[in-house]
Amino acid sequence: GQNIDQPTEMTATEGAIVQINCTYQTSGFNGLFWYQQHAGEAPTFLSYNVLDGLEEKGRFSSFLSRSKGYSYLLLKELQMKDSASYLCAVRDSNYQLIWGAGTKLIIKP
């Protein structure tokens, strides 16, 4: 079966750095995506990785290791507005998105 694992909840302090991990087992691989979702809203696109390595975009970076079936989202200089759920999704060989359950990130002052 196909499976995406990420922690259910994480807590971090404003101004700090947090890393959200995602491991996956899917039928094929055509890219890994990270989305941010605030409560009651639709997800918004954060990053896309298809090759191994680190993609940096402002305060957010995403890393991928295809051989390990592993990715992480790194958030720097945390702000209160970063409190949200972060969804990891993998596009499989059929170009379907397989979703993780999301990681709820709580930012404390």
Q: Any residues with CB less than 8 A from the CB of 88 and at least 6 apart, and which?
A: 4, 6, 20, 22, 24, 32, 33, 34, 71, 73, 99, 100, 102, 103
29 binds other proteins (CB under 8 A): no
43 binds other proteins (CB under 8 A): yes
- CB nearer other proteins, residue 12 or residue 91: 91
Query: CA dihedral in degrees (12, 5, 86, 90; nearest 10)?
Result: 150
- CB nearer other proteins, residue 78 or residue 88: 88
- At position 83, the amino acid (one-letter code) is S
Q: Considering the complex, what minimum distance in angstroms separates the CB of residue 17 from other proteins?
A: 25
The answer to whether the beta carbons of residues 88 and 36 sit under 8 Å apart is no
Among 12, 87, 90, 105, binds other proteins (CB under 8 A): 87
SS3 content of the chain, % helix, strand, coil (to 5): 5, 55, 40
- CB nearer other proteins, residue 13 or residue 73: 73
Among 23, 31, 55, 83, binds other proteins (CB under 8 A): 31
Q: Considering the complex, what minimum distance in angstroms separates the CB of residue 43 from other proteins?
A: 5
List interacting residues with other proteins (CB under 8 A). Answer: 31, 33, 40-45, 48, 87, 96-97, 99-102
